[in-house]
Amino acid sequence: MKNLRIFTTLCLFLITVNLVIGQNEMADTKMVGGAEMYPSKNIVENAVNSKDHTTLVAAVKAAELVDVLKSDGPFTVFAPTNTAFEDLPAGTVETLLKEENQKKLQAVLTYHVLAGDYEASDIVSAIKKGNGKASFETVNGGKISAMLDGDEVKLKDAAGNVATVTIADVDQSNGVIHVIDSVLLPAK
């Protein structure tokens, strides 16, 4: 009888722990593209579930960057939506996805990645410290500028194109994703 009580108590304890862990996991998730993004999953594991990022996922696969973005990182990814890719000049995405243009595609995609985990508060703090503008070096070696427009974080690429962060701080096991509404392009 004593063993049954111990066993029951242990089972109740484990159920309670699992419920608390599950609630904490759910509290930290964000919805992106109709899917929950779990902080326990890596950038690729989450991105493949977003209906708003199918073009980005296809590009990451074509550029053979999946293993990099599954690695420990940490990385900060500025993730353009499908609509952002559609706003590029006609034929741009199709051209970049061709095997012979893999290096160009890698350059564009790695221009959206920072080494390190930069939460929105870190970016805003850098902007304020820089008197309204901050510069970040991307994984491909190019620079992007960040600034505030009211409460919105804006990113400017080498060509002067501007993207807005539409969903910030989507935590991942190997970094963070910030969803953006435009594709950033590196210097040619």
Closest Cα to residue 65, out of 43, 50, 83, 87?
Answer: 43
Percent of the chain whose pLDDT exceeds 70 = 86
The SS3 assignment for 187 reads coil
Is the pLDDT reported for residue 95 higher than 50? yes
- Cα 131 from chain centre: 26
Identify the pLDDT of residue 163: 97
Residue boundaries of the structural domains of the chain: 2-180
The residues that bridge with 30 in the sheet, in sequence order, are 37
Is the pLDDT reported for residue 162 higher than 60? yes
Is the pLDDT reported for residue 69 higher than 60? yes
The pTM score is: 0.84
Between strands 134-137 and 143-149, the pairing is: antiparallel
Closest Cα to residue 32, out of 152, 151, 177?
Answer: 177
Residue owning tokens 């919805």:
31
Residue type present at position 163:
A
When the pLDDT of each residue in the chain is averaged and rounded to a whole number, the result is 85
- Farthest-apart Cα atoms in the chain, separation: 76
Mean pLDDT (whole number) for 65-85:
92
Is the pLDDT reported for residue 27 higher than 70? no
The string of pLDDT tens digits covering residues 106-142 is 999 999 999 999 999 999 999 999 999 999 999 999 9
Mean pLDDT (whole number) for 171-176:
90
Could you tell me the fold of the domain covering 2-180? FAS1 domain (2.30.180)
Strands (DSSP E) contained in the chain are: 30-32, 35-37, 75-80, 113-115, 134-137, 143-149, 152-156, 162-172, 175-180
